[in-house]
Every structure is written in structure tokens, then in C-alpha cells.
């Protein structure tokens, strides 16, 4: 039998060959041209395809032999959607899944992660760089928007141009002429830079995760307490390392154990290893990517690296931000973590959720918890036991998009600069909050009987946490407790899965839609502009 890492690499190789054969340059050009460069249909089809394939594969496999429980199809489909959208919402316990099923979930998380998808989009867009300027602008508008002054400055930096005074009466205007001393074409440099960016993203994706897997695997084998936990649960150390690191990097939040990371709350070293994975794969990905390109440029002296750093906004890769935007984003992320750390410490330091931890373990545990609110979802505490004010703070953090940053100066993006008039249908699109209110109302309708019979578990706040967590693709959940039921009976059994595991099939289907909608929310961030509040 193949090891998990060999199975994973074999499937990746097969998928790569399929993409290379199916997405030929001519097919990519035709598909992208007819879609007008709109990535929403491509992303939607992509997610529907992989989550459907994931469901059928999970359905065809047997669960772990040590359990007699067989998940229903709705729960398997829910799990497939949760993994593909990197949401980590769960309706069944994770220890039900066999080692092979965990490998399938790992692959779903990788190909559903934002870094991997952005790399695929880079590959799809690359053929249009050598198209004619007119066709290129039609199918991929960001690629034809190159600021003249920016190009001139880049050529000055690369020593490819000379500046001559313009005949215009304005003293601040000048003309740029390309000097073909080395026969270097700017279009060719742009193409090479775009190709170089794809290689850097691939290197970043592989290197960070391999480093994390090796670190976690060594930790598991050195620290006896962590090793014994996996041994008792019959989970392989290598499987746990690959699954957990992959899940953390793509910001999914799935962990092979039923208790998530609560069972490792005292293993501070493991938590410290996973914290950079959670940040580098999501909220801090743009700053670290820019730093990586800068470091490669310093050591290799590649002109492509310099071009990428100076033309970050016009290449159309949304994850490559300018120096100023990267600095603002990093500052905002750290400020949010610090804010949550201070408030969580002040409210929960002596509470039951942290009472069994020493000083060092509390500091690391709180830091781990606050980092995971955006948007990983791994937890060391039972969210149903924490203060309501902290829970509301977590809701806000889960709602915020990953690249939220604070800036006193508002910059217009490419779409605003192009001054494209919005269509009538686009004006009818609601805002994100409006959709979330609708989703919460629909869940309250489907679960109305439970809200009457079991109000302590099925209250509006817990439902809001579940919906916002699914929308933010986080995975935080207050869970379900039999002890909170007003009518106690012997049929209730506490399970280690999310609150949605106790929902009706209708409520689960709504949450499936929320997870997919949340994964594609970047395409609707400007919705609701037609509404004016006077």
C-alpha cells in the first residue's frame, strides 16, 4: 500500500498531466475570450467540479475499520464542500474517516486553496501575454493597463531607455524611447516576469508546506505526549503531519482528531509551528510573497524580480501587492491579532477554558486562537464556554476578508480607473451583509422547531456564528451540548463535530451554499452600491 505522501504525489502528477492536456493554449484562449476574462464562472465551475468528484470518491471508500458509524450522503457531500472551500465545517467526527479518505480530503484542501488556485489562474492567463494588444485588452483588461510612466521608470532602472525632452510646452512631460542595446523587448520581459511569478508561487506553495510537515513530523516523534495521543487514536504521524499542515496553510482548519487542536492545547511547540503556516497561507501571503521575490532578486539579480516588484498592480495578480499595501496589510493583521490577544486574555485568562494551562501555555494558546480567527478555524478552546463579547469579536474577525487593511488614503483600483459603467443586473446585486442576513433567516426557518424545543443550543447567536464562520471559510463552531438541553433524555450523545451536525438536511444545504458563496465572495465585494442610505 502506498504511503500518504506517495499517494498524494501520484494524484498531483496525474492531475497536472490532465490540466496540461485539457487546458491547451488554444483551449485556454478560446475559453477565456468567450468569458471576457471573467473569473467568476471559471471559479464556480472549478469548485462545483472538484467538490462533486471529492464526494463520489469519499462515497466509494470505506470508513475507518474501528468504527461502525457510516456517514450519510448529505454529510459526505457537506464534508467534501467544506474541504474544497477550505471551510472546515463538520457534521461528522473526523476520526470516522480512514487514512485513504484523509488523503482525499488533503488533496481537496490543496486544490481548493487560494494559493494553488491563483497559481492555476496565472497559468491560464499566460497565453494572452503574447496576444495582440487589441485582443489582449478584450480578454484580459488588467494586462493591457500599463502606466506609461511606470514602464519608463522600469526601463530606466534596467538601463534600457534614454529620456529626451518633449517638444510640449509643459516642462514636466517627457518621452521614453527604448534603446535596443541588448535587444530586450518589454513585452518579452513582461511575459518572462509572469512566468517567473508562477514559478515563485509554486516554490512558495511547496517549500512552506514541506518545511511545516517536516517540523510537525519531527515534533510528533520527539515529544512523547503528542505521539501518544496519535497512537491512542490510531492516526499515523505522517498522515497527521501532512493533513494538519496542509489544512493550516490553506486555512481550512480540519484536523484528523475529533477534538480539533484542543487535545494538543498543552503542546505549545506544535502550536508555534502551525501559527506561521496559518499566516503565510492567507492573511500574510502578499507581504511574504513580495519579500520572497525581493530576496530571490537580491541573490539572483534577475530583472524579472525587479519588474514584478515595480509593476505589482498592473500585472493583474491580486496577491502581489505594492510595497505600501503590503506594509499596511501586515500592520493591520498584526494589529488585529494584538487586539484580540489583549481582549481574550483580559476576559478568559482565569476562566475554565484556560484554567489547566500554565503561563507559557496560556500565552501560546491565546496567540494560536487569535491567529485562527482569520481564517483557519483551528481551536484549543470550546467556543461555547467563552465570554459572549469575545464571541462577537470573533464573528467580526471571521467576517472580514483576508486582505483587509487600514489606510487613510483611498486608492482606486483598475475597475474604478477604467470607469466602466455597471449593468442593470450588477446594480441589483446585494451587499455581503444583506446576503448573510438572508442566510441566517433561512436557517432560522428550517430550524424553527429546534429553536423552540432546544433554545439554549439553537439560539440566534450560535446560528450567526455558524453562518458567519461558513461564509468566512473559517470553521469555528460553538458545537452542541446535551447538557444544555431543557428536556434531558438518554438518546442524546455528545459528539465532536460542529453545531451544524445537529441541523436538519435543509439547514445543512443552506450552509453548503453559504460556504461556496463565501469562497467566491471576492467577486461580490462591491455589491449593494445601488442602495443609498439617506
Q: What SS3 state is found at 178? A: strand
Distant-in-sequence, close-in-space partners of 106: CB < 8 Å, separation ≥ 6: 4, 8, 242, 243, 246, 247
What pLDDT, on the 0 to 100 scale, is given for residue 16? 46
- CA 227-373-348 angle, to 5 degrees, is 80
What pLDDT, on the 0 to 100 scale, is given for residue 159? 39
Lowest mean pLDDT among 143-152, 292-301, 315-324: 143-152
Alpha-carbon distance of 432 to 211, in angstroms, equals 37
Q: What is the average pLDDT score of the chain?
A: 81
Pair 288, 280: CB distance under 8 Å: yes
Residue 162 predicted with pLDDT over 50: no
Q: What band does 528 get if pLDDT is binned at 50, 70 and 90?
A: low
What pLDDT, on the 0 to 100 scale, is given for residue 25? 47
What pLDDT, on the 0 to 100 scale, is given for residue 138? 46
The three cell numbers locating residue 79 = 464534508
Q: What SS3 state is found at 161? A: strand
Residue 518 predicted with pLDDT over 80: yes
At 60-112, the pLDDT tens digits run 998 887 777 889 999 999 999 999 999 999 999 999 999 999 999 999 999 99
What pLDDT, on the 0 to 100 scale, is given for residue 408? 63
Alpha-carbon distance of 505 to 91, in angstroms, equals 11
Residue, of 314 and 402, whose pLDDT is higher: 402
Interval 285-310 mean pLDDT: 91
Alpha-carbon distance of 272 to 332, in angstroms, equals 21
Cβ neighbour number for residue 316 with a 10 Å cutoff: 18
pTM of the entire predicted model: 0.82
Q: What band does 6 get if pLDDT is binned at 50, 70 and 90?
A: low
Q: What band does 465 get if pLDDT is binned at 50, 70 and 90?
A: very high
Amino acid at each position: 500500500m502506498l504511503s500518504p505522501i506517495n499517494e498524494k504525489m501520484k494524484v498531483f502528477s496525474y492531475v497536472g498531466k490532465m490540466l496540461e492536456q485539457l487546458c491547451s493554449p488554444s483551449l485556454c484562449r478560446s475559453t477565456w475570450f468567450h468569458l471576457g476574462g471573467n473569473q467568476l464562472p471559471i471559479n464556480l465551475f472549478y469548485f462545483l467540479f472538484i467538490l462533486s468528484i471529492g464526494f463520489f470518491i469519499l462515497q466509494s471508500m470505506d470508513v475507518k475499520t474501528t468504527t461502525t458509524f457510516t456517514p450519510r450522503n448529505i454529510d459526505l457531500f457537506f464534508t467534501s464542500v467544506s474541504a474544497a472551500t477550505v471551510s472546515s465545517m463538520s457534521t461528522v467526527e473526523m476520526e470516522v474517516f480512514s487514512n485513504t479518505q484523509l488523503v482525499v480530503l488533503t488533496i481537496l484542501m490543496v486544490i481548493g486553496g487560494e494559493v494553488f488556485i491563483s497559481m492555476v489562474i496565472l497559468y491560464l492567463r499566460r497565453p494572452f501575454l503574447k496576444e495582440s494588444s487589441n485582443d489582449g485588452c478584450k480578454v484580459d483588461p488588467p494586462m493591457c493597463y500599463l502606466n506609461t510612466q511606470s514602464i519608463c521608470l522600469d526601463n530606466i532602472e534596467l538601463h534600457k531607455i534614454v529620456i529626451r525632452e518633449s517638444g510640449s510646452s509643459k516642462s514636466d512631460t517627457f518621452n521614453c524611447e527604448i534603446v535596443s542595446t541588448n535587444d530586450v523587448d518589454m513585452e518579452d520581459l513582461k511575459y518572462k516576469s509572469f512566468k517567473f511569478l508562477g514559478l515563485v508561487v509554486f516554490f512558495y506553495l511547496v517549500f512552506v508546506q514541506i518545511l511545516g510537515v517536516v517540523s510537525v513530523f519531527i515534533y510528533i516523534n520527539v515529544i512523547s505526549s503528542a505521539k501518544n495521543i496519535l497512537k491512542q487514536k490510531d492516526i499515523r504521524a505522517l498522515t497527521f503531519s501532512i493533513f494538519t499542515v496542509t489544512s493550516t496553510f490553506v486555512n481550512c482548519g480540519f484536523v484528523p482528531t475529533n477534538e480539533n487542536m484542543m487535545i494538543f492545547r498543552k503542546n505549545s511547540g506544535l502550536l508555534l509551528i502551525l501559527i506561521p503556516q496559518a499566516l503565510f497561507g492567507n492573511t500574510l501571503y502578499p507581504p511574504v510573497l513580495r519579500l520572497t521575490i525581493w530576496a530571490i532578486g537580491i541573490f539572483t539579480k534577475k530583472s524579472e524580480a525587479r519588474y514584478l516588484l515595480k509593476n505589482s498592480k498592473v500585472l493583474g495578480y491580486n496577491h502581489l501587492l505594492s510595497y505600501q499595501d503590503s506594509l499596511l496589510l501586515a500592520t493591520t493583521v498584526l494589529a488585529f491579532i494584538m487586539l484580540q490577544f489583549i481582549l481574550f486574555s483580559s476576559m478568559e485568562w482565569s476562566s475554565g477554558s484556560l484554567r489547566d494551562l500554565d503561563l507559557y501555555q496560556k500565552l501560546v494558546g491565546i496567540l494560536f486562537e487569535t491567529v485562527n480567527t482569520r481564517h483557519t478555524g483551528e481551536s484549543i478552546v470550546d467556543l461555547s464556554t467563552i465570554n459572549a463579547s469575545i464571541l462577537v469579536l470573533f464573528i467580526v474577525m471571521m467576517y472580514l476578508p483576508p486582505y483587509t487593511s487600514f489606510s487613510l488614503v483611498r486608492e482606486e483600483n483598475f475597475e474604478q480607473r477604467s470607469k466602466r459603467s455597471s449593468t442593470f443586473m450588477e446594480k441589483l446585486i446585494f451587499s455581503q451583509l444583506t446576503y448573510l442576513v438572508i442566510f441566517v433567516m433561512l436557517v432560522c426557518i428550517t430550524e424553527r422547531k429546534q429553536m423552540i424545543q432546544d433554545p439554549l443550543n439553537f439560539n440566534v447567536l450560535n446560528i450567526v456564528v455558524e453562518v458567519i464562520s461558513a461564509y468566512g471559510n473559517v470553521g469555528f463552531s460553538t458545537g452542541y451540548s446535551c447538557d444544555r438541553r431543557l428536556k434531558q433524555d438518554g438518546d442524546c450523545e455528545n459528539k465532536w463535530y460542529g453545531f451544524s451536525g445537529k441541523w436538519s438536511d435543509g439547514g445543512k444545504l443552506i450552509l453548503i451554499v453559504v460556504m461556496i458563496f463565501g469562497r467566491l465572495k471576492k467577486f461580490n465585494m462591491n455589491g449593494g452600491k445601488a442602495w443609498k442610505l439617506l
